Structures are given as C-alpha cells and as structure tokens.
Structure 1
C-alpha cells in the first residue's frame, strides 16, 4: 500500500492538512492519499484535472466521490460508467475492497491512467475496461452502477440501467437540477424497469458542501420473468 505521505499542493487547500479528512477515509486513507498525490503530480499534465481544480481536490473531487459509498453494496460488482480520472471509481474501489469495481471508460489514454493508478495503489479489486456502457449491454451485469458528471439522467438511464441486474442500484451524482432531471427521465426509467428515483443528500465532513445523489433501484429487467 502507498505510504501515507503527501505531495505539496500549489495554492491554498483548506482541507489539505485537515486531520478530519484522514479520519473520514479510515482504513482506505493510504490509498486515497496516494491517489490524491498522483492527481497532483500527473493529473494536469495528462489532461485529467484542470489547474484550478488541484487546490480543491479534497472537497470538490475526493470527498465528493466518497459521498456515494454509503449507497453502494459492500460486495458483488460495481461498475463506474465514464470513469475518466477515476472519480468516483478509484475512490469507491479503495473504500469498498470487498467489491469488484469495474472502471468503464472509452478513451485509451484514460484507461491507461486508470490501470497505472490501480497498480500503483495495489487496488486488486479494480478491473479496467475500455468501452462505452452501450457496448457491454448484455455482457456486463452489475449489482450497482455509479456515474459522475457524464450526462443528463434520461441518457444515463439508457446507458446504465441495462447494466443492472434486478434489484441492482444506480447511484448518480447530480447537482441542483436533480429533481427536474428525475421528472424528465421518469418515463424512460419505468420503461427500463426502474423504481421510483430518490434525490438524497450525501454529507461527508462538516463545512464541505453536501453531495446530491440520485438513487434508483432497477426493480425488474424487461423481458425477464
């Protein structure tokens, strides 16, 4: 496991040395800190993180990603759609070591990065898969799907719900328009077997903005009795 030491971050990050952050992540802290350091040292160079985001990685990205974990199973298979830099997929893998976490990403340079991160941090529960969600419908079945900052909910339903077994859960990180998106996507959700969508607040540590999550259980798989 990566040693718990941190690369210096340019700019003032109010959470960079806050002991509450390490306490929040608990046993996953060494891996999370290692991921933070990789993002600081390589994220901007590799086009994964904008320069303005580096001083606020903890609040805007790492804690934000961690907020989905309470809504996920502790085992089985979790698929992170459009993993990008690994947010929330790498964070989820570090915090839920008992689950297989599939990082699904269509861009080769990003899958290369994700594989390097998983290897460096010794996250043996990670599987990196290059492709779009639509490409693996019928081949990849998940107990939960996570998604962050990818598309509107009506599109996410079409991409993510077919990946879920009956009883599986979609956890989508959304912002202030979550309720409107839920309403607009309700018809396609029902068509794909989704139950009612719940918009939930997902807090992490005091003083950090609460993450908003849309949680949907796929109650039935159309065509399967």
Structure 2
C-alpha cells in the first residue's frame, strides 16, 4: 500500500469547503457528480499510477480541477478542442466534464498516462472524449480543431510549434500559465510571428468563483 493511501485524505465533494462546493456547482452544474468521480480517481489511481504526487491530493479541487475547468468560459459552444500533453487529464478531462456539448481530443505520448485516461473516460462514461497516443507533431497534419489547450507543457515560445499547427490556420491557443505569462509573451514574439499568430492576450478566468483566478494566454490564429 502506498504512503498516500496510508494517510488518506477525503477529497470527495461532500467533504469540500462551502466555497469549493459553490465553485464546483457554478463551473460543472449538473456534471458535478462526474467531476467528483474524476477527483476521486486523481486521488487514488492517479497517485498509484504515478501521474500526480501525494502532496497534491489536498488541493486537487482548487489547484488542479477547478483551475483548469474555468477555462471553459473561453471556449465557444460546440467547439472541437485538442488538449496537448494531457497527462492526468488536466485540463482536457476537466473541460470535457464541464462542457459535454463540445468534443475533446486528448493528445498524450506516454502509454501509461494514455491507459489511465482511457480507464477514467470509460468509468465516467464520457462520450465527448477521444484519446490519441502521440506527440502533437505526429498528428498535426491529421487534425483541424477550433481550440488547442495546454497546461504545464512548456514556455510559450516552445509551446507554439507544438500547438499552432493543430489549428490549420484558424482558431485559438488557450495556454494555462502562471505569473510569468506576460514575460513569456514578450519572449515568444519571434515564434508568434513565425507561426502567423495574432497578438496574445493575458486573461483571467474564474475570477468570480475562485479565490485565485486562472491565468491564460490566448493566442489567436487566422
């Protein structure tokens, strides 16, 4: 048995703080139960499979799932979204739960992570998620999506060649970033020009429901 299971932390929605419950209800609505199931997976199988560290368990809702899910407010209805480097399904699965009318393609090169995502998608019964085991460069010529998302993949200037080709000349990159976002935009100017991008915006999502809003760099193309 792992140390994480020996020191059990109840991350179920019923045990969450009133502020977290309000945020979950605002972001996920009728899908709150599915979000709860996802968080349970992250806190158990996600740790066991090595996708997350045990120290992340107490802050799964606020730091990870809600932090990602609030990006849904920037995604148009019915959009086709590719999530690059999905890892533990962040942000791809969190967004797919929040936005059941949109279709999500989760792109992840590591076999173990893909197997875990497939297991969670099956357990949650998500019908709006496809999982592709590949590097984004390998599928760029076969996909044409409306939105590309990414979190904790690389700095913006290195992220652009991994994501912009998936848009086939039109769409947006929504990159979840931290406080360094403005500096990353400055450092990426040459790459932005090379890939035909418009001027990026540094935005805040979830400011009305989260204690700390999510910082996003939105890069338009076309």
Distance, in Å, in 2 between the alignment partners of 1:173 and 1:181 is 12
RMSD of aligned Cα (Å): 2.0
Q: Say if 2:23 is the partner of 1:21.
A: yes
Secondary structure of the structure 2 residue equivalent to 1:101: strand
Q: Say if 2:150 is the partner of 1:151.
A: no
- Give, in angstroms, the shift of residue 77 of structure 1: 1.3
Answer with 202-211 or 55-64: which moved more: 202-211
Distance, in Å, in 1 between the alignment partners of 2:92 and 2:42 is 14
Equivalent residue number for residue 3 of structure 1: none
- Give, in angstroms, the shift of residue 13 of structure 1: 9.6
- Structure 1 consecutive aligned stretches of length 4 or more whose deviation exceeds 4 Å: 11-15, 204-207
Distance, in Å, in 2 between the alignment partners of 1:72 and 1:65 is 12
- Give, in angstroms, the shift of residue 188 of structure 1: 1.1
Secondary structure of the structure 2 residue equivalent to 1:55: helix
Answer with 108-117 or 197-206: which moved more: 197-206
Query: Paired residue for 1:94, among 71, 92, 97?
Result: 97
TM-score (ref. length: structure 2):
0.89
Equivalent residue number for residue 67 of structure 1: 70
Query: Paired residue for 2:43, among 32, 40, 43?
Result: 40
Distance, in Å, in 1 between the alignment partners of 2:137 and 2:92 is 18
Distance, in Å, in 2 between the alignment partners of 1:136 and 1:174 is 24
The structure with the largest helix share of the pair is: 2
Equivalent residue number for residue 3 of structure 2: none
Distance, in Å, in 1 between the alignment partners of 2:29 and 2:94 is 12
Secondary structure of the structure 2 residue equivalent to 1:90: helix
Secondary structure of the structure 1 residue equivalent to 2:211: coil
**Is this contact kept in 1: 2:11–2:57, CA < 8 A?**
no
TM-score (ref. length: structure 1):
0.88
- Give, in angstroms, the shift of residue 69 of structure 1: 0.8
Query: Paired residue for 2:132, among 120, 129, 135?
Result: 129
Change (3 A) 1:53 1:174: same
Secondary structure of the structure 1 residue equivalent to 2:192: helix
Answer with 143-152 or 94-103: which moved more: 94-103
Q: Deviations over 1:100-122 (max 9, x none)?
A: 10010000010001111111111
Distance, in Å, in 2 between the alignment partners of 1:64 and 1:155 is 22
- Give, in angstroms, the shift of residue 21 of structure 1: 3.3
Change (3 A) 1:122 1:183: same
Equivalent residue number for residue 9 of structure 2: 10
Q: Which segments of 5 or more consecutive residues in structure 1 lack a partner in the other structure?
A: 1-7, 220-225
Distance, in Å, in 1 between the alignment partners of 2:93 and 2:191 is 29
**Is this contact kept in 2: 1:79–1:145, CA < 8 A?**
yes
